[in-house]
Structure 1
Amino acid sequence: MHKQMIDGVWPTMITPFTPLDEVDYEALGKLVEWYIEQGVNGLFAVCQSSEMFNLSCDERVKIASFVKEKAACRVPVIASGHISDGFEDQVEELNRIASTGIDALVLITNRLATEEESDEVFRHNLEKLLQQIPEDIMLGFYECPYPYKRILSPELLQWCAQTGRFYFLKDTSCDTSNIERKLEAIQGTQLKIFNANSATLLDTLRLGVSGYSGIMANFHPKLYIWLVQNWNSQPDQAEQLINLLSMMSLIEKQLYPVNAKYYLMLEGILDHMNCRTKNHQDFTSANALEIEQLRQLSKQLAKQYVV
């Protein structure tokens, strides 16, 4: 990627599992093709949506490698897999993920300090970790909500950007004011911010975020792609669309990622909605109907906005 992140829509990929609870690589291959056919700009593999905290290190490494190989340079692939508590374990897992050939390695902000620890501790731990990660790989951050959400302060993000190592932030603050201050802090650096929140997305695109990286790109990525590409040239239509996307994104509060896997079953991509983080048997008939209705609405909007 010539040392820059591509603007646009980066889905947080899910992981298909077989009924025997193994990673379903055949389905994962179909899923990569589906994302690319939808027109996404990049893929974020081995993240929380991928159930990475319930994947072994070997599985995390293999998934990152598989997705990168399957994408075959058509779109860039970034990956995390940064889940360990211990420093040495983090060094091992991150270097193994980096060795897969991914385009950028994403660090989880809550792995660098406990909830009670200060930004000074975070910075100290990050400096130590950076010495153990290959200098030639681009790095990113993900403000992962699990096991706790650590939102980077604008001041800390500025310091990180000025190291010259970081190019990507998946922001989960859901706070337009916070994102605005972050954008001001990183001016003149190579770091780009991608918003994970639908409700604030249009406002933050106007402020200068580089795109969307969130859950709903597993349902109707084309609608987010249209918004990111056309918000400036078609402001009235963009305003109408974001109102709908914001309300549709409330489906995230349902049984995710089971519901995303059911949606992708309706798309003909997956055969199962098995998960490790949630019990798919808790997915009710009403839940299924809601997803079916969401898909119908998504198709109608795609005809209106995309075609």
Structure 2
Amino acid sequence: MNKNKKDFIPVMLTPFNDDGSIDFGMLTILIEDYIEKGVGGLFANCLSSEMFDLLPEERLALTQHVVKVVNGRVPVVATATFGGGVLEQADFVKRMYDTGITATIVISNMLAEESEASKIFEERFFQLLEYTERIPMGLYECPDPFKRIVSADQLSRFVDTGRVIYHKDTCLDIAMVRDKIEKTKHEDAFGLYDAYMVHAVESLTAGSAGLSCIQGNYFPDLVVWLCDNYYRIDKKKEVKAVQDFFTKNMHLMHDGYPKVAKFMVKHRIPDFPTKVRRGDFGLTIELRDSLNKLWVEYTELMTNIA
């Protein structure tokens, strides 16, 4: 991960056919759209991908397809831990890494139950490192089924192994984000990517490697623009306008996700399917109207910051 450039790493959506199978043709189109928008990498097989509703072989096939289409143009990471004992998780880490990804992502809530102490999680993470040889790793504070936050001290100890190169942060606390960045800044190969767009500019300014947020599935080019311009004094007004846009529309972009995100992708890719495997619902006329108005607001914003 290149700390000299701030990157947007989208948490990828998974397009599904009407019968619920993965639409690999549309996935290829989506990958090309992400790359055309200037992303710095791709996070495949994540919560936005509906990973918990995919079979193990689907997770592997999905990730392998992403790696093949990307063909080395940007790094690809993918989740590889889905419960069970540490040895079982280590086995799937190896299988996922064999797809050709840059790093395998460990979900922080999969190594210890919610009732178990943070120390247990840490011990099992080190066990996982031991059982997976030299495979590069990342961490993901996934909110489902519960959120286990990795402390700054823990993250520092993990990074010190030389094995952890990526962290998707969802703590929502800018003070904690700053602490994590400060305690891991000595490792050039490591990057923290913030998921919380409310403090996106603050996080980038503090030294995060970039952003990895669901809002990028609505407006990837706008998130890329923010990563490229957050520090510019001559763009201070425009940067504030972009930050305010994401903050103001936080709830609209979260409610009904990823269904609503797939609807918004249709503005860029008209044939993109809105089918989801989890939490499917009909898009009301009122919701469609709100989302279409959001697109108009985004279009005007892109014109004003150009």
1:162: which partner in 2? Answer: 160
On the 8 A contact 1:41/1:75 being kept in 2, the answer is yes
2:194 equivalent to 1:205: no
TM-score in terms of structure 1 length: 0.94
1:82: which partner in 2? Answer: 81
Shift of 1:78: 0.9
Q: Which runs of 5+ in 1 are unaligned?
A: none
1:264: which partner in 2? Answer: 265
1:15: which partner in 2? Answer: 14
| CA offsets 1:142-184 (integer angstroms, 9 cap, x no match) | 1000000011111111110111101111000111011011112
On the 8 A contact 2:83/2:111 being kept in 1, the answer is no
On the 8 A contact 1:31/1:269 being kept in 2, the answer is no
On the 8 A contact 2:136/2:165 being kept in 1, the answer is yes
Matches within 5 A, 1:130-279: 130-135=129-134, 137-189=135-187, 190-233=189-232, 234-268=235-269, 270-279=271-280
3-state SS, counterpart of residue 272 of structure 1? coil
The whole-number CA distance in structure 2 between the counterparts of 1:155 and 1:30 is 41
Shift of 1:221: 1.1
On the 8 A contact 2:195/2:212 being kept in 1, the answer is yes
On the 8 A contact 1:219/1:260 being kept in 2, the answer is yes
The whole-number CA distance in structure 2 between the counterparts of 1:4 and 1:110 is 27
On the 8 A contact 2:42/2:77 being kept in 1, the answer is yes
Q: Which piece of structure 1 moves more, 25-34 or 181-190?
A: 181-190
The whole-number CA distance in structure 2 between the counterparts of 1:172 and 1:270 is 32
Cα RMSD between the aligned structures?
1.7
The whole-number CA distance in structure 2 between the counterparts of 1:212 and 1:124 is 28
Shift of 1:254: 1.6
The whole-number CA distance in structure 2 between the counterparts of 1:141 and 1:187 is 16
2:283 equivalent to 1:304: no
Gap change, CA 1:280 and 1:5, over 3 Å in 2:
farther
Identity of aligned residues (%): 30
2:91 equivalent to 1:121: no
| CA offsets 1:236-284 (integer angstroms, 9 cap, x no match) | 3212220112112322332110001111123225442111111133x22
User: Match of 1:238, as an amino acid?
Assistant: V
The whole-number CA distance in structure 2 between the counterparts of 1:286 and 1:75 is 38
Shift of 1:13: 0.2
On the 8 A contact 1:119/1:156 being kept in 2, the answer is no
| CA offsets 1:16-68 (integer angstroms, 9 cap, x no match) | 11110101101101100111111111111000000000100100001111001
| CA offsets 1:111-139 (integer angstroms, 9 cap, x no match) | 1211122222112111211122240x321
3-state SS, counterpart of residue 169 of structure 1? strand
2:63 equivalent to 1:57: no
User: Match of 1:302, as an amino acid?
Assistant: M
On the 8 A contact 2:170/2:196 being kept in 1, the answer is yes
